[in-house]
Chain A
Amino acid sequence: MHPAFSVIFLTTLIGAGQGLFLALFTGQLYASVQLIEPQGADFYTVGSVLSLALLIAGLGASFFHLGRPERAWRAASMWRTSWLSREVIVLPMMMGVVFFYGLFHYLGLTQPWFVAGDGALPIDATMVLGLLGVIVAFALFVCTGMIYASVKFLEEWHSPYTIGNFTFLGMASGFMLAAAYSAYLGNHLVGFYGTWAVIFTVLGLGTRIASLIRNATLKHKSTLQTAIGVRHRKIVQKSQGFTASSFNTREFFHHQSPDFLNLVRLVFLVMVFPVPLMLIGVSYVLESPTLPIAAFVIQYLGLVAERWYFFAEANHPQNLYYQSIA
């Protein structure tokens, strides 16, 4: 597939945004049961703004993918069948939840309504919104992932790993951002968020490696034989029917060499996984305020490469029909 930067930024930015929100709420949850140091309203407010900014940026990027963005509102109508439609519904929900989550923190609407579970867990408006946000965030990860995983023709994507990758890598980058945010503020949560980020990064590494291995050995269902219905071992296309380009040659091909693809794969495998983990590890030791930030930035750029590769790696069966000019 042709890796479109609109979609690359959409998925990576909202992934980080969702992840950051989940990190904030995880922190709130831990703090409310006093497992970690509680933070003031500002922490959550600014964090929510950051998360919302990422979500908005992602949404903005997605508009560049649309031929007719002014009609984007129509995209919500087919939620019964279309994962894209579902994403279009869930993403604004996510943004709404994050907005109100941040707003409530900002307004200080944190008076517990009641205390759950033997006095251990005070429930307030932000807590309810946070829980709702967790559901919505995971729903959004599923929707985003399913947009790709549900297309059975793109066999590289058509696997649970796609959901796993979108979820874990989104959470990894979000928690990494939370660690960077904490480091920037100089609070004590760098280790907390960093550790979670490491956990999600490692989980992401697991699913991503699994998907790479799966795809490396993937045997595509469609062949030239099934594409044109001729039983012969040797079939070669001579003419695709036109000599210049077409939508079919632009949208479904990356137009890069295999070497370039291998390079991108190496780049993302290094930038998303070992480097950030190392930087976080070192930052624990050095208590550096900048290393977690560097870890996030590098991991995010790595994720851009990862997503580029995700598209480029997918070989659409329609390409069987567009292989030669004569």
Chain B
Amino acid sequence: MKDPAVHKDQANGHTEVKETTCYMCACRCGIRVHLRDGQVRYIEGNPNHPLNEGVICAKGSSGIMKQVSPARLTKPLRRKPGAKRGESEFEEISWDEAMEMLAERLGRLRAEDPKKFALFTGRDQMQALTGMFAKQFGTPNYAAHGGFCSVNMATGMIYTIGGSFWEFGGPDLERAKLFVMIGTAEDHHSNPLKIQISKFKRRGGRFVSINPIRTGYSAIADEWVPIKPGTDGALFLALIHEILKLGLFDREFLVQYTNAPELVIDDPGRDDHGMFYRDPDAEIVEGCTDPQNKLWWDRNKNGPVLTHTEGGDPRLMGSYVLPDGTPVKPSFQLLKERVEPYTPEWAENITGIPADTIRRLAHEMGVTARDHKIELPIRWTDCWDKEHDTVTGNPVAFHSMRGLAAHSNGFQTIRSLSILMTVLGTIDRPGGFRHRAPFPKPIPPCPKPPNHPDAVQPEAPLEGLPLGWPAKPEDLFVDDDGKPVRIDKAFSWEYPLAAHGLMHNVITNAWRGDPYPIDTLFLFMANMAWNSSMNTTAARHMLTDTDEHGEYKIPFLVVCDTFASETVAFADLVLPDTTYLERHDVLSMLDRPISEFDGPVDAVRLPVLPPKGECRPFQDVLIELGGRLKLPAFTKQDGSPKYRNYPDFIVNYETSPGSGIGFLAGWRGQFGEKYLKGEPNPRQWEQYAANGCVFHHELPRSYQYMRNWNKGYLHWARAHALTRWAEPIVLHIYSEVLQRFRAAAQGKWPGRQPPEHLRERIETFFDPLPFHYEPLEGQMVDKTRFPLTALTQRPMAMYHSWDSQNAWLRQIHSHNYLFVNPKLAIAQGIEDGDWIWVESHLGRVKCMCRYSEAVEPGTVWTWNAIGKAAGAWALDPKADESKKGFLLNHLIGEELPNGGAGSHFSNSDPITGQAAWFDLRVRIYKAEGPKEAQVTEPQFAPMKTLPGQTARPRTRWQAYVAGVFGRK
């Protein structure tokens, strides 16, 4: 061999380096793609990228295998005439035929009833475009996967502090001293979080993980506190109890920046009981979500004053009577009363965490927040024109995602966490929680869903946005009888705050025709016939089920995907998408940008390779379709298409003519001299390309903190179109928004009221103060029969399942086991490695058991979405994924067990519609049987290779070497 120290790698072919943005998961790191003779030689992290600072994860490093995957779809396909759905019998058609077929059908639906078209996308981050397409089409039936991802996290926090974890904010580990991570949260902002946790630990920070399972980041926690799943709310309430009891809260912060001192009417006899007392004489900003016309009880005056009155010193506790005789209490007093019974001992029984540990954790949080204050010499001015010489912070940071969100009590649990973070005084302050642009937003944010069926009209765009943030019953999208207008029943009385929709119920609802049947379901990158659905076996049945005339109950199914996923087999029309290395993309401020704490950041993807076969970027397809359907935003006056393609659209589209707001925030203006707001710049793509595909605007230091109440920041944000109002965003310890719905259920709301059968549900769950309740499935199933909770999480090498099928990554996880605490397993006579059954109220799944001492004994868990249906993803039907790997989704109901009386409640949070896949209750037992039966169940008929798909390699070898050099 040649001496490697002398022989240079670049000499082996023609080498180029191109910069773009990764999309092997939703983290979106900057990457540099090294090409040799036009093939991918190496993908490295872009060291100049603000997000990943040069690092890259296991998935990002396996992007090459995505390009060469035999699962790639390369041709538009139509289900063969006569072939049944699910049989995977397709014929190639041209793009022209495909587009014509689509345009004809959708055009007809748009003329009849736009609701009959439903567009649901597994990936978000293209929501700005997909949502706009749905709106332009006129259908309300649109959402991305947020409903089964983490909408509880978004709403629970946004309805409390005006921002949330992940894209919208996160823990400031650079300055935190104590970091508490609750539940599985590894996959959101994975690389930045890994970078930060490592630095945090090396600086000597203390890391506590509260989780039923110790894997991932929890592995390197200084302390692991195992907790029973779905009981986190009880823990937070007990922590708040202890912090309040000892006076470890940040009084000054609560007084100035939250609604803690604001007076709530306390007279159960009155209709406005539980509402803030509002001073009718106070000046308010018209239209503002949360006007500043509330009162404090001033200590010196011993009487009411308008909030934030100069020199005012409000009481946080007590009970008062206003001059007009209205009994009131500060909302903090209500919180105090609420958490009174929630002692650590009470929580011990629920969470399984010893009361002493809970107390100690409360002390650690409280004392760290109080005694390790950070003071930064940054001058800033608050919304009440008070000058501050410094920015201070309490260095206790939290992080959490699905672990809390994917429970039916997730919203209230996350509100409890947000309130805990608030009483510790850690919101948008150094060392605590920090917002990311475009957050913070008003509580709740301004966009509202349409509120009446009339918003849907033939041949017309939808009036309003398909998704939004209801603030009162009048914002619900229901008809005059209170019935849902959307197919997924989002924003109905069943799931009023369903800000991300309920994609997980679309197939079931459409199949059942409840609230109505639809015609065409368009799925983009959503594996609804497998790991993106709950109750997968049933979902596969519903997709193939026919009515009495032999017609499919869901008449037309369009699937756009890059790979031969399980869902493709069920499509009537298959549109081959490109990979992330073959397309333009934007990570837009209108959607979910990659902003940093210090300011807005957005990014683009640029194609570094030509599309394979006849693959077309999904966005191009949508834009062309918009033109063919003559949707206003995609059509010129003369009826011709307005945009050539997606890049053209991105550069020239403005939210309204002359608004200066487009998909990309960087290099706007004719010469690229403006940012966030400015006229279209024809050279915008080039300027992104010249800057590592990323635009980062670093705010002045005085705008980087306290943004909910930072006058300078809020006015800057308004000037740059990030927000509509520059009003302070006061934190909602007490949620009047929730109280409005509760009042409606109690018949005390002057406007809309829920249907009778939902009154009790709304009254129970729309509690303006945080509370804990057992997850709904646990309340409904026989817990002696199903004593265990079953959880799933993604392994780090396969975050976000859409790309897990990969020749390299699958060698790390080709099949999965159910992890069981040996104590539990031995009691059932199950040995390590045994085949076992896991059974829920829906059915059972056969899998292998693996002992683990790192799981709470009442919990079993597995790596999710490792198991595949036989033959899917171009895997051999005998592949480990379908023989030994299993999918727990078969056991998770998309609806609550024994829904009864035709109610068919989604297995979701009753407030937000967040899918409650972590509520799953199961039992396990040993699978007896002959050795040859040691195959996972259920099994499905193998999926066939599709036309245009590379045949499975005949040789058993794959020796990838980029470039001509490799072929010698």
B-binding residues in A (CB < 8 A): 236, 238, 241-244, 324-326
Taking a contact as CB atoms under 8 Å apart, the answer to whether A243 and B853 are in contact is no
Q: Is B811 an interface residue (CB 8 A)?
A: yes
Give the shortest distance, in Å, between A25 (CB) and chain B (any CB).
Answer: 46
Complex CA distance for A78 and B817, rounded to whole angstroms: 47
Which one of B819, B850, B852, B880 lies within 8 Å of A244 (CB-CB)? B880
- Give the residue name and chain of the A residue nearest to B814 (CB): A243
Q: Beyond A243-B880, A244-B880, is A326–B812 a contact (Cβ under 8 Å)?
A: no
Q: Beyond A326-B817, A326-B819, is A242–B811 a contact (Cβ under 8 Å)?
A: yes
Q: Is B815 an interface residue (CB 8 A)?
A: yes
Taking a contact as CB atoms under 8 Å apart, the answer to whether A243 and B852 are in contact is no
Chain A contact surface mostly: loop
Q: Is B813 an interface residue (CB 8 A)?
A: yes
Taking a contact as CB atoms under 8 Å apart, the answer to whether A238 and B850 are in contact is yes
Complex CA distance for A326 and B813, rounded to whole angstroms: 8
Complex CA distance for A238 and B812, rounded to whole angstroms: 13
Residues of B contacting A241 with CB < 8 Å? 812
Residues of A contacting B854 with CB < 8 Å? 238
Residues of A contacting B814 with CB < 8 Å? 243-244
Complex CA distance for A325 and B880, rounded to whole angstroms: 13
Which one of A236, A243, A326 lies within 8 Å of B811 (CB-CB)? A243
Complex CA distance for A242 and B813, rounded to whole angstroms: 6
Give the shortest distance, in Å, between B88 (CB) and chain A (any CB).
Answer: 26
- Give the residue name and chain of the A residue nearest to B884 (CB): A243
A–B Cβ pairs within 8 angstroms, 21 of them: A236-B853, A238-B850, A238-B852, A238-B854, A241-B812, A242-B811, A242-B812, A243-B811, A243-B812, A243-B813, A243-B815, A243-B880, A244-B811, A244-B814, A244-B880, A324-B850, A325-B817, A326-B817, A326-B819, A326-B850, A326-B852
> Which chain B residues (871-898) contact chain A, with CB distance < 8 Å?
880
Residues of A contacting B851 with CB < 8 Å? 236
Give the shortest distance, in Å, between A247 (CB) and chain B (any CB).
Answer: 13
Residues of B contacting A242 with CB < 8 Å? 811-812
Complex CA distance for A243 and B810, rounded to whole angstroms: 8
Complex CA distance for A244 and B812, rounded to whole angstroms: 8
- Give the residue name and chain of the B residue nearest to A238 (CB): B852
Complex CA distance for A312 and B815, rounded to whole angstroms: 28
> Which chain B residues (583-598) contact chain A, with CB distance < 8 Å?
none
Complex CA distance for A242 and B852, rounded to whole angstroms: 17
- Give the residue name and chain of the B residue nearest to A241 (CB): B812
> Which chain B residues (839-861) contact chain A, with CB distance < 8 Å?
850-854
Beyond known contacts A244-B880, A325-B817: 15 more, CB 8 A cutoff? A236-B853, A238-B852, A238-B854, A241-B812, A242-B811, A243-B812, A243-B813, A243-B814, A243-B880, A244-B811, A244-B814, A324-B850, A326-B817, A326-B819, A326-B850
Complex CA distance for A116 and B922, rounded to whole angstroms: 91
> Which chain B residues (812-850) contact chain A, with CB distance < 8 Å?
812-815, 817, 819, 850
Give the shortest distance, in Å, between A310 (CB) and chain B (any CB).
Answer: 29
Complex CA distance for A236 and B811, rounded to whole angstroms: 22
Residues of A contacting B852 with CB < 8 Å? 238, 326
Residues of B contacting A244 with CB < 8 Å? 811, 814, 880
Give the shortest distance, in Å, between B337 (CB) and chain A (any CB).
Answer: 46
Give the shortest distance, in Å, between B11 (CB) and chain A (any CB).
Answer: 26
Give the shortest distance, in Å, between B831 (CB) and chain A (any CB).
Answer: 13
Complex CA distance for A326 and B852, rounded to whole angstroms: 10
Complex CA distance for A326 and B855, rounded to whole angstroms: 14
Complex CA distance for A326 and B815, rounded to whole angstroms: 8
Give the shortest distance, in Å, between B916 (CB) and chain A (any CB).
Answer: 26
- Give the residue name and chain of the B residue nearest to A324 (CB): B850
Give the shortest distance, in Å, between B84 (CB) and chain A (any CB).
Answer: 34
Give the shortest distance, in Å, between A149 (CB) and chain B (any CB).
Answer: 32
- Give the residue name and chain of the A residue nearest to B853 (CB): A236
- Give the residue name and chain of the B residue nearest to A244 (CB): B814
Give the shortest distance, in Å, between A67 (CB) and chain B (any CB).
Answer: 14
Complex CA distance for A171 and B819, rounded to whole angstroms: 54
- Give the residue name and chain of the B residue nearest to A246 (CB): B811
Residues of B contacting A238 with CB < 8 Å? 850, 852, 854
Give the shortest distance, in Å, between A245 (CB) and chain B (any CB).
Answer: 10
Give the shortest distance, in Å, between B876 (CB) and chain A (any CB).
Answer: 13
Most chain B CB neighbours (cut-off 10 Å) among A236, A241, A325, A326: A326
Complex CA distance for A243 and B811, rounded to whole angstroms: 6
Give the shortest distance, in Å, between A250 (CB) and chain B (any CB).
Answer: 14
Give the shortest distance, in Å, between A74 (CB) and chain B (any CB).
Answer: 14
Residues of A contacting B819 with CB < 8 Å? 326
Complex CA distance for A238 and B817, rounded to whole angstroms: 11
Residues of A contacting B853 with CB < 8 Å? 236
Give the shortest distance, in Å, between B168 (CB) and chain A (any CB).
Answer: 34
Task: Pick the 4 closest A-B CB pairs, nearest first.
Answer: A243-B814, A326-B850, A242-B811, A326-B817
Give the shortest distance, in Å, between B103 (CB) and chain A (any CB).
Answer: 46
Complex CA distance for A163 and B854, rounded to whole angstroms: 47
Residues of A contacting B850 with CB < 8 Å? 238, 324, 326
Complex CA distance for A236 and B854, rounded to whole angstroms: 11
Give the shortest distance, in Å, between B959 (CB) and chain A (any CB).
Answer: 15
Give the shortest distance, in Å, between B577 (CB) and chain A (any CB).
Answer: 29
Give the shortest distance, in Å, between B890 (CB) and chain A (any CB).
Answer: 21
Complex CA distance for A325 and B817, rounded to whole angstroms: 9
- Give the residue name and chain of the A residue nearest to B822 (CB): A236
Complex CA distance for A242 and B58, rounded to whole angstroms: 13
Complex CA distance for A244 and B807, rounded to whole angstroms: 12
Most chain B CB neighbours (cut-off 10 Å) among A236, A238, A324: A238
- Give the residue name and chain of the A residue nearest to B832 (CB): A324
Complex CA distance for A241 and B815, rounded to whole angstroms: 12
- Give the residue name and chain of the A residue nearest to B863 (CB): A326
Complex CA distance for A325 and B852, rounded to whole angstroms: 12
- Give the residue name and chain of the A residue nearest to B852 (CB): A238
Complex CA distance for A324 and B851, rounded to whole angstroms: 11
Most chain B CB neighbours (cut-off 10 Å) among A241, A243, A244, A325: A243
- Give the residue name and chain of the A residue nearest to B812 (CB): A242
Give the shortest distance, in Å, between A224 (CB) and chain B (any CB).
Answer: 14
- Give the residue name and chain of the A residue nearest to B815 (CB): A243
Complex CA distance for A150 and B36, rounded to whole angstroms: 45
- Give the residue name and chain of the A residue nearest to B811 (CB): A242
Complex CA distance for A244 and B850, rounded to whole angstroms: 16
Residues of A contacting B811 with CB < 8 Å? 242-244
- Give the residue name and chain of the A residue nearest to B866 (CB): A243
Complex CA distance for A325 and B814, rounded to whole angstroms: 10
Residues of A contacting B880 with CB < 8 Å? 243-244
- Give the residue name and chain of the A residue nearest to B819 (CB): A326
Complex CA distance for A9 and B358, rounded to whole angstroms: 66
- Give the residue name and chain of the A residue nearest to B881 (CB): A243
Complex CA distance for A325 and B850, rounded to whole angstroms: 9
Complex CA distance for A150 and B853, rounded to whole angstroms: 39
- Give the residue name and chain of the B residue nearest to A234 (CB): B853
Residues of A contacting B815 with CB < 8 Å? 243
Give the shortest distance, in Å, between B859 (CB) and chain A (any CB).
Answer: 16
Complex CA distance for A324 and B817, rounded to whole angstroms: 11
Complex CA distance for A324 and B819, rounded to whole angstroms: 13
Residues of B contacting A326 with CB < 8 Å? 817, 819, 850, 852
Complex CA distance for A242 and B811, rounded to whole angstroms: 6
Complex CA distance for A160 and B198, rounded to whole angstroms: 50
Complex CA distance for A324 and B814, rounded to whole angstroms: 14
Complex CA distance for A238 and B814, rounded to whole angstroms: 15
Residues of B contacting A325 with CB < 8 Å? 817
- Give the residue name and chain of the B residue nearest to A243 (CB): B814
Give the shortest distance, in Å, between B956 (CB) and chain A (any CB).
Answer: 13
